[in-house]
Amino acid sequence: MELNNSEYSIQGVPVTDIANQFQTPVYVYDADKIVSQINLLRDSFNGVNLRIKYAMKSLSNLSILKLIKEHGVDLDAVSIQEVQLGLKAGFPAERILFTPNSVSFEEIQEAVSLGVVINIDNIAILEQFGDTFQGTVPCAIRINPHITAGGNAKIQVGHIGSKFGVSIFQMSHVKKVVESHGINVVGLHMHSGSDILDSEVFLMAANVMFDCAKDFPNLQFIDLGSGFKVAYKEDDIVTNIPELGKKMSAAFQEFCKNYGRDLELWFEPGKFLVSESGHLLTTVNVIKHSPAAVFVGVNSGLNHLIRPMMYDAFHNIINISNSSAPKRVYDVVGYICETDTFGYDRKLNEVRVGDILSLENAGAYSYSMSSNYNSRFRPAEVLVFNGKPHLIRERETLEDLTRGQVDIFANTPILQEEVSTED
C-alpha cells in the first residue's frame, strides 16, 4: 500500500474506493506483492533444484491458489480438505505435499488414492503405511530436529516437547521400520517454527537433515519447511532471504555432492508469500473516552482477525481516511463480546467516526482463522490484480450461518398441549 498526495492506494487504486465499492469489513490482497515475494525467494537460491510449496493453511482462497500456481509454486496441505481445494484449483496431485498430524489412517489412505505426496510424522502411522501399501507407494518422513525456534511458543513446533514429527532420537527405529516393511522413502521433511530471524537456525536444522539422509538411499528431496520472518512494523528485523539463499545453496550443493546425486530442495512458505499482501479494512463505529484510554471501536473483531489475541501479534494500523491529520494515541478495539484489542497505545492520525482503518499484514492466518463467533458474518475478500480490484469471496449472510442446521421444531411445537384426564 502506497501513500501519495495524502491518499493510500494499492496498484494505483485508492483504498477508500475499494472500501466504498465492497463495504467493510473486507480483506484486500495485493497480487503484485505476492508475486514479488515468490520471485525474491526463487532468485535468492542459485545452483539448486528449488521447489516452493505454498503453505495453503495461511490463505486458501481459490483465486490466491490459482495465482501462485501460475507462478510455478506448488502446495503444502495439512488436511484432506486442503488437498481437495488444491486439486480444485488445478494443481496436479504430484505437486501437492500432504503433511497431516494426528489424523486417522483413513484420511491418509484417501490422500494416497488422490495421488498426492504423503508425508508421515509418526512411527505408528509409518508402520500402518508399510503394512497397507507394501512398498508400492512412496512417502516422506517428517523429522523433529529438537530445535526451538520461532517468535511465539504457539508457533514453535520443532522442539523436543512438540507433537510434530519423529524425534531424531528415534531415527534408528525408523530405519528398522522402513527396512522391515520395504517402505520407499523419497523425502525428509522438517519444520521448526515461524518468525525465524537467524539464517543459522535453518542451516543448523539442515545439517540435522543431511546427517539423517545418509540412511535413506532413494531420496528425491529435502524439505526444510519455512518460518521466514516478515516485517510487521517499520524497521522490523526480518529473515535475510538473499543471505539465507546464498548460504543454504552452498550447503545443499555440498550435501548433494556427498550424497552422490542432486536432490530437490523444498521450502514451505505461507506467511512469507501472502502476509504483507493483505489489508483488513474496517470502519470506525465509535470513539469512547475513558479514564485510562481513548477507545476506537471498529466493525470487526477477533472473529475476523484473531492473531493479536491468540499470538500477541502486532499488526500496524493506519487511518486511511485522515492521513494528514495530527496524530493521537488510541486503543483500537473490536465489536466482539470479549476483549479483542487490535492495538494498544497506537499513534494514529486523528480518528473520526466513519473513518476507514486498515490493519496491515493481514494476508496470512487472518481470514483462514476467522469464525462466526457472536454469530457475526465473515467478511468479503478482494484481490487487486492488474490494477483492478476483484471480489474473490462474497460476504456471508444469515443463510450462510444457518446452512446445515436442522430445525427439528420447524413443524412441531416445543410445548405440547396438555391432554385432559377428566371425564
313-323 confidence digits (pLDDT tens)? 999 999 999 99
Would you call the peptide bond into 413 cis, given omega within 30 degrees of 0 as the criterion?
no
Q: Is 394 annotated as a binding residue?
A: no
Interacting residues of 138 by C-beta distance below 8 A, sequence separation 6+: 117, 118, 184, 185, 186, 218
Model confidence pLDDT, tens digit, residues 398-418: 999 999 999 999 888 887 665
pLDDT for residue 237 = 85
Positive or negative torsion for Cα 77, 80, 82, 83? positive
Q: What is the pLDDT of residue 414?
A: 80
pLDDT band for position 195 (cuts 50, 70, 90): low
Share of the chain above pLDDT 70, in %: 93
Q: Over the chain, what is the mean pLDDT?
A: 92
Listed range (156-165, 177-186, 307-316, 384-393) with the worst mean pLDDT: 156-165
Residue recorded with cell 524439505: 223
404 in a known ligand binding site: no
Q: Is 311 annotated as a binding residue?
A: yes
Find the mean pLDDT for residues 171-193.
Answer: 92
Q: How confident is the model at residue 38, as a pLDDT?
A: 98
Residue 305 CB contacts under 8 Å (≥ 6 apart), including other chains: 280, 315, 342, 359, 362, 366, 370
Given a cut of 90, whether residue 43 has pLDDT beyond it is yes
What residue has cell string 542432486?
A: 262
Question: Which of 127-141, 190-204, 246-260 is least confident?
Answer: 190-204
Residues designated catalytic? 337
Quote the pLDDT of residue 155.
40
Under the banding of pLDDT at 50, 70 and 90, the label for residue 419 is low
pLDDT, residue 379, reads: 98
CB 50 within 8 A of CB 42: yes
**Are 64 and 274 in contact, with CB atoms under 8 Å apart?**
yes
Can you tell me whether residue 71 is helix, strand or coil?
Answer: coil
Place of cell 512469507: 272
The lowest-confidence range among 46-55, 140-149, 172-181 is 140-149
Average pLDDT over residues 342-363: 98
Is residue 153 predicted with pLDDT exceeding 70?
A: no
Q: Is residue 307 marked as binding?
A: yes
Q: Tell me the domains of the chain and their CATH numbers.
A: 2-12+19-24+275-402 (2.40.37.10), 60-269 (3.20.20.10)
Confidence bin at 151 (pLDDT 50/70/90): very low
Q: What is the pLDDT of residue 280?
A: 98
DSSP string covering 371-422, please? --GGGPPPPEEEEEETTEEEEEEPPP-HHHHHTT---TTSSS-SSPPPPP--
160 has pLDDT over 70: no
Residue 152 pLDDT: 41
Element (H, E) at 320: none
What does the pLDDT average to over 168-192? Answer: 93
- The separation between CA 258 and the C-alpha centre of its own chain, rounded to angstroms, equals 34
pTM: 0.92
344 labelled as ligand-binding? Answer: no
Angle value at C-alpha 161, between 158 and 166, nearest 5 degrees: 60
pLDDT of amino acid 299: 98
